[in-house]
């Protein structure tokens, strides 16, 4: 008897409410790109206003920023990257300094005996000293500094690789959040209109009050989802602004679509070869090993003592207590003036300090660099295998969704709607199936995001862009 009364109430539906229910599957129908679209029959002013406020301020298919543009902005404005690039200037300065030869020395000394009671005793000395580096020290210094410059450039390239991957990952997360927000906003508009029509039916006695309550709960749930998704979009955009060096109050809208991602045909063997040959961090590890060998050669060269050549000119004058006659026949004190020229060499005797400590330290650094290089090679192999496996799994999951999940989920809602129209099912069944479709759309967005992030991670692991 209760079922008969229920069927009677649903077989006399309010005409506009049936019109809304008849287009729910069209509203939830997926376009060719996989996005939900709002049917023209239900895209009223309320729904449009919500979409405009919540989605279009984050997306602009014409003048929005693409991921490539964001990467270029970051490479030009990211403060951390700019600070890292100063390493090149620093290394170039060290290279310039390493090429200089030791400065010569100039000596001037004046002696006067009058202060100590020896008037007339004076001496002037002019000296010059020149250091001759032995053992090829200058060449070894230049070699170390040159390798340091190349190492700084590779460190910058590796930071650019990491920053590019971070930008692309945040970009994918932002598009996924916007996609979820768009779904929630569109469904919220539909359910708000359904709720208003159901409320009108309840007021006219053509529907049970619980139907209005069910739709009211559904509207509230979608409003909560919209707020959460919008917060996710805002948070990720703030991270993008920080990474790109933009001001936090600077407007930023994106351009792109997760459903139009490429499907590269890169094999794992090719990816591994490219990574081992092109990864800047691995190149830096190998160069650091060469740097350790160059530092060892420099430490051994510094154990060879330098030779310092010097020359001095000395003019000394002395006055005696005896007197003699000048050329004019006058009595004058006797004086003696001497001019001396001295030349010689100076060399340090390496009897105790033969630079043993620095040589030992350089050898240890070289060995540490070799071990780090071996470890990074293992890390590169692991990262490439893991990233490639993630990419393959994400691609397979995406194919399953495209071929088996989305279409069937939409067909299920059409069947439920038809049953409700015929009075065989309740509005509760329609709402539950709609929720399943929403969950399916969210899951599909997660799979799209995972596929995009897998591509980004594979590109990061390989070290070069993947076409």
CA–CA gap between residue 459 and residue 453 (Å, rounded) = 10
What pLDDT does 424 receive? 64
Q: How many residues does the chain have?
A: 467
Enumerate domains of the chain plus CATH numbers: 2-100+138-269+407-462 (1.20.1600.10)
**CB under 8 A, 24+ apart: contacts of 52-56:** 54/181, 54/182, 54/185, 54/226, 54/230, 55/178, 55/181, 55/182, 55/185
Low-confidence ranges of the chain (pLDDT < 70): 1-54, 207, 325-326, 406-407, 410, 413, 417, 419-428, 430
Half-sphere exposure of 257 (CA within 13 A, CB side): 10
Which residues does 344 contact at the CB level (< 8 Å), separation at least 6?
309, 310, 311
Query: Which tokens in the block code for residue 127?
Result: 């000296």
Half-sphere exposure of 441 (CA within 13 A, CB side): 27
DSSP per residue over 102-120, as a string? PPPEEEEEEEEGGGGT-TT
Does the reported pTM lie above 0.85?
A: no
CA–CA gap between residue 39 and residue 282 (Å, rounded) = 53
Question: H helices of 11-58, where?
Answer: 15-28, 45-54
CA distance readout (Å), 335 to 25, 114, 116, 323, 325: 124, 15, 19, 9, 12
What pLDDT does 13 receive? 38
Query: Which tokens in the block code for residue 447?
Result: 């799979």
CA–CA gap between residue 191 and residue 183 (Å, rounded) = 12
- Residue in this structure with the two tokens 């700084």, named with its chain if needed: 152
Burial letters 122-151, b for 16+ CB under 10 A, else e: bbebeeebebebebebeebbbbbbbbbbbb
- Residue in this structure with the two tokens 């020896």, named with its chain if needed: 118
Condensed to tens digits (0 to 9), the pLDDT of residues 282-322 reads 999 999 999 999 999 999 999 999 999 999 999 988 877 77
What pLDDT does 214 receive? 76
Condensed to tens digits (0 to 9), the pLDDT of residues 379-431 reads 999 999 999 999 999 999 988 887 777 667 767 767 776 766 666 666 667 67
What value does the mean pLDDT of the chain take? 82
Residue of 464, 456, 387 lying closest to 175 (CA atoms): 456
How buried is residue 257: exposed, middle or buried, by Cβ count under 10 Å (0-12/13-18/19+)?
A: middle
What pLDDT does 264 receive? 79
């Amino acid at each position: 008897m209760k079922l008969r009364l229920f069927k009677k109430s649903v077989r006399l539906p309010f005409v506009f409410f049936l019109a809304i229910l008849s287009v729910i599957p069209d509203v939830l129908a997926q376009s060719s790109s996989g996005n939900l679209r709002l049917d023209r029959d239900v895209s009223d002013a309320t729904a449009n206003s919500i979409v405009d406020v919540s989605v279009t301020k984050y997306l602009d298919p014409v003048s929005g920023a693409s991921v490539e543009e964001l990467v270029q902005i970051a490479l030009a404005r990211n403060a951390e990257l700019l600070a890292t690039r100063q390493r090149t200037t620093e290394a170039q300065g060290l290279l310039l300094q390493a090429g200089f030869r030791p400065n010569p020395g100039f000596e001037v000394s004046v002696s006067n005996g009058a202060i100590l009671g020896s008037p007339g005793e004076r001496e002037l000395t002019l000296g010059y000293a020149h250091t001759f580096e032995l053992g090829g020290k200058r060449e070894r210094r230049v070699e170390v500094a040159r390798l340091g410059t190349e190492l700084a450039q590779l460190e910058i390239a590796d930071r650019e690789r990491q920053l590019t991957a971070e930008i692309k990952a945040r970009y994918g997360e932002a598009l996924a959040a916007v996609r979820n927000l768009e779904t929630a906003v569109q469904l919220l508009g539909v359910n708000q209109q359904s709720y208003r029509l159901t409320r009108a039916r309840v007021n006219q006695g053509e529907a049970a009050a619980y139907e209005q309550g069910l739709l009211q709960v559904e509207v509230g749930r979608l409003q909560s989802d919209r707020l959460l998704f919008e917060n996710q979009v805002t948070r990720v955009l703030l991270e993008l602004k920080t990474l790109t060096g933009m001001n936090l109050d600077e407007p930023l809208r994106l351009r792109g679509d997760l459903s139009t991602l490429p499907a590269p045909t890169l094999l794992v063997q090719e990816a591994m070869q490219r990574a081992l040959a092109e990864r800047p961090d691995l190149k830096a590890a190998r160069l650091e090993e060469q740097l350790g060998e160059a530092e060892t050669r420099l430490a051994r060269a510094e154990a060879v003592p330098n030779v310092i050549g010097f020359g001095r000119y000395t003019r000394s004058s002395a006055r005696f207590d005896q007197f003699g006659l000048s050329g004019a026949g006058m009595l004058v004190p006797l004086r003696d003036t001497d001019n001396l020229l001295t030349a010689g060499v100076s060399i340090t005797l390496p009897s105790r300090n033969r630079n043993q400590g620095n040589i030992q330290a350089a050898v240890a650094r070289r060995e540490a660099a070799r071990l780090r290089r071996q470890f990074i090679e293992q890390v590169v192999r692991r990262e490439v295998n893991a990233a490639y496996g993630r990419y393959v799994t994400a691609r397979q999951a995406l194919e399953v969704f495209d071929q088996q999940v989305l279409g069937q989920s939409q067909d299920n809602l059409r069947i439920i709607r038809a049953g409700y129209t015929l009075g065989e099912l309740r509005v509760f069944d329609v709402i539950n199936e709609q929720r399943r479709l929403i969950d399916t759309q969210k899951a599909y967005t997660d799979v799209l995001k995972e596929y995009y992030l897998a591509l980004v991670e594979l590109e990061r692991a390989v070290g070069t862009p993947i076409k």
